[in-house]
Chain A
Amino acid sequence: MRDKELLIALNFVPKLGPVKIQSLVEEFKNYSEFLRAEPADLFQIPGIGKIMSGRIIEYRGKIDPDEEISKAKKLGIRIVTLLDDDYPEILKQIYDPPPVLYTKGDIACLNNQSIAIVGARKASNYGRNTANRFAKELASMTINIVSGMARGIDSYAHKGAIDASGPTTAVFGCGLDIVYPPENVNLMKKIIKCGCIVSSFPLGTQPIAANFPARNRIISGLSLGTLVIEAAERSGSLITADFALEQGREVFAIPGNIYSPYSRGTHKLIKQGAKLVENINDILDELYLDRFDIKKVNKESLESLSSIEESVFKIIDYQPLHIEQLINSSQRNSQELNAILTRLELKGHISALPGGYFVRN
């Protein structure tokens, strides 16, 4: 029990990574020994320099692991360390597993096969729909969807999984007591119901930019493969993909329009050898998982359309089209067309986008 406290305490020290924590733990065995250690003792440990040992001593006085545990308990947060049995097995396999995980919700879902879905915060409608659909389909096969609960693609991946009431996991780049971005507070509650939220950061840690690479490492580490949907040329999603490769996991990418700025990152990945994905079977095959019957889903949805509705539906594309274009190509007046569009929208075949655009779902 004392060792868990040691891990929690060391996890507080800034710039002290998992590898160094590991060597410190091997040196001290338990918390009380660590409390008694002199600066000279710390200094001897390989990798711990003068500055770091000074910092460890400084933080040692401030931290009370017991207080952190009880604080977490009050918030319904469990602290899982590398020493615990339910620490996710898949994460242990990476080179530098985070020694401490703060979790909320059912962490059993981490034992499912997991796929990470990541992408740009500012995404196109194509990206958002794709994220939603892939997450929904994967989650319906009880595959756990891991993502970062950021705006854009991440949020839609979580939403997709929740729609299929499948498992999903959000990895935070801040303390679990902080919701970032704040508008996702309701999404977070749903994620906790369906799966869990995870963070390697102590409670109260703010979502500063430096935290996110560490978070991305956990996202890829928890998953068999990482699917990147829309990423800019230099972005966090590409960092996640790099981590996945380092950790020996698969990288998948969804192609996009070659002119779209949102496709640069994913196309770069594909050029480097990431697998191009068109449907979820491309992912499942690579991981030797059971296939998904895609045809069945598409077929049953079209049956409910009347002939007029179907003729309009045929004009609507996966590429957004403006209402004026639809008026032109359908040869109907705006009055009639608007009414048909509403019905198609209500039946869930198309979506109305801001700006007067319509797109197939």
Chain B
Amino acid sequence: MLSKVKSCSIYGLESFLVDVEVDISNGLPAFDIVGLPDAAVKESRERVRAAIKNQNFNFPIKRITLNLAPADIKKEGPHFDLPIALGILAATEQMPVEILNEYAIIGELSLDGRTRPVNGVLPMAIEIKERELKGIIVPLENVEEAAVIKGIKVVGVSSLSEVVAYFNGELKISSHEIRNSHKKQIKTTYDGDFSEVKGQENLKRCLEIAAAGHHNAAMMGSPGSGKTMIARRIPTILPSMTFEESLELTKIYSISGLLSNHSGLIRKRPFRSPHHTISAVGMVGGGRIPKPGEITLAHHGVLFLDELPEFPRDVLELLRQPLEDEEITIARANATITYPSKFMMIGAMNPCPCGYYGNPFRECSCSPNQIHRYLSKISGPLMDRIDLQLEVAPVKFSDLEEPSATDSSTIKKRVEDARLMQLTRYRQHNIYCNSQLTPNLVHKYCGLDKTGKLLMKQAFYSMKLSARAHNKILKVARTIADLDGKQSIKDIHLAEALQYRNIDKYYQVIR
């Protein structure tokens, strides 16, 4: 007997439909899987055998041949357990065959026949909608995720016999609906808030600018000055995610297996803080079968690199292309995959190896050479992509007692307004924020008036700015003007932007 069951598999961030074909014929008992299965798929033979037996079905003592079509793409993951089991039951006429074709089936089986949750359900649901299938059968834990996609029937099951009963018409399971429709604006709550950061007025202002223009930033300050604490709160002042952004992010987390059970769309912007011992593959993604790295997991959010100069040089250099292109293409023998990586990079570092350089009250024990070597671990091209350099001072006790500060939602409102201005201004250029301005566009959109030009000229010579710094300052001034709601950059905007050019300050003093 022959049966066909539909299922899905993942390639990169996308899913594709897989036909699970089961043929049962007379001959020596055997169970073979063909169609480029990887180890987890091959092992499903044992799980399926035990699950069928333990749910009181008959496992045929015949020659079973199983094909996963299309047969030229590698398939991985344990989510083929359930379709394989159903295929065998259908081929041995223990359940109807025809109705199976209207659904795609996904799920891992435990030996007792219960289902277990799997990764990548969201992209699979998207694929099923596009292929105009009727619905999807998923483990109960995954229903919330699959139900994000409207217009398909999402059936959550907890065991093999439940599915069989469902297809036999003995059990009714209604399609799962999310209680809160995504069209309504759901209030997202973050763990932290900017109002909890006492003092540090200047730093908060810098980060507001960074968020408004999507500028990458680096924070300098001695250990314990609160760099990590404030960085964690940056997502709270970034604009709310759109549905499309949420969907894209949830897809990434779904295939990475980072989506917690019973959760639907991710609405919080991610905050990723990899340790500096991370490998290149861990950062940008890769592996024999490519998996997303930290930069992709930080998509639409913040990638926080604490102790920036401690990261291996080669890992930092890898960030250059994704920062520019907002995606990363990983080419391996098995696959070439492009992952999105549109993130805001926030670095944190000490001013020197001992941490006290520039502190007027404590002697720094580093030699000028050491400091230079430390700072130069961050290469020029990477520094080019960091528009804002912020200084973090240790918090004083008096600041801790300060009653309250501006909260995140107030700042977020200002940031959103500034982003909107940018979005309308750059509509024709296919970019959305100031940090993406190319030198040509800087020239076009960051023009200065007469007093501004004079100020820039003075600053250029007396502050010994580099051409690199010049463009960055203009971009930042553009964002400051946007925050101010002004279409043209005034000299006060420029004067403020000039204070955020700090890295040049460091290099000048050392020389």
Contact = CB atoms under 8 A, between A and B. Distances in A.
Given A335-B496, A341-B499, A355-B358, A324 B511 contact: no
Given A324-B202, A354-B502, A342 B496 contact: yes
Contact of B363 (A125, A262, A337): A262
Which of the listed residues A319, A320, A342 has the most CB atoms from chain B within 10 Å of its own CB? A342
A346 B454 CA distance: 11
B271 interface: no
Contact of B202 (A151, A334, A339): A334
Nearest to B363: A261
A346 B505 contact: no
Interface string B489-503: 000110110111010
Interface stretch (B210-218, B380-388, B457-465): B457-465
A357 B511 contact: no
A38 interface: no
Contact of A334 (B201, B357, B458): B201
A113 interface: no
Contacts of B498: 342
A338 interface: yes
Nearest to A319: B360
Given A323-B391, A327-B202, A334-B205, A354 B351 contact: yes
Interface string A3-16: 00000000000000
B506 interface: yes
A191 to B, nearest CB: 16
A322 interface: yes
Contact of A345 (B364, B463, B496): B463
If over half of A's interface residues share one DSSP class (helix, strand or loop), that class is named, otherwise mixed; here it is helix
A46 interface: no
A342 B351 contact: no
Contact of A324 (B358, B368, B393, B493): B393
Q: Give chain A's interface residue range (CB within 8 Å of chain B).
A: 20 to 34
Nearest to A332: B201
Contacts of B459: 342, 346
B264 interface: no
Contacts of B368: 122, 151
Nearest to B365: A122
Interface string B469-508: 0000000000010000000000011011011101001100
A348 to B, nearest CB: 7
Contacts of A124: 360
Interface string A67-99: 000000000000000000000000000000000
Which of the listed residues B202, B204, B221, B392 has the most CB atoms from chain A within 10 Å of its own CB? B202
Interface string A325-341: 00100000111111111
Contact of A346 (B200, B202, B462, B511): B462
Nearest to A352: B505
Nearest to B493: A339
A333 B200 CA distance: 11
A353 B205 contact: no
Nearest to A354: B358
A29 interface: no
Given A319-B360, A341-B499, A342-B498, A353 B509 contact: yes
Contacts of B357: 354-355
A52 to B, nearest CB: 37
Contacts of A125: 360
Contacts of A126: 360
B447 to A, nearest CB: 19
Contacts of A204: none
A356 B204 CA distance: 14
A183 B511 CA distance: 7
Contact of A353 (B367, B455, B458, B505): B505
B126 interface: no
Nearest to B199: A324
Contact of B358 (A122, A348, A353): A353
A324 B201 contact: yes
B223 to A, nearest CB: 14
A339 B492 contact: yes
A343 interface: yes
Contacts of B204: 334
A41 B493 CA distance: 81
B410 to A, nearest CB: 14
Interface string B188-229: 000000000001111011000000000000001100000000
Contacts of B202: 323-324, 327, 334, 337-338, 356
Nearest to B483: A335
Contacts of B263: none
Contacts of A353: 358, 360, 505, 509
A266 to B, nearest CB: 15
Interface in A113-150: 122, 124-126
Contacts of A122: 363-364, 367-368
Contact of A320 (B351, B360, B480): B360
B261 interface: no
5 contacts: A122-B363, A122-B368, A346-B463, A354-B358, A356-B202
Interface of B: 199-202, 204-205, 220-221, 351, 357-360, 363-364, 367-368, 391-393, 399, 455, 458-459, 462-463, 480, 492-493, 495-496, 498-500, 502, 505-506, 509, 511
Given A124-B360, A354-B358, 13 more contacts: A151-B368, A335-B480, A338-B205, A338-B496, A338-B499, A339-B492, A342-B459, A346-B458, A346-B462, A355-B351, A355-B360, A356-B502, A357-B360
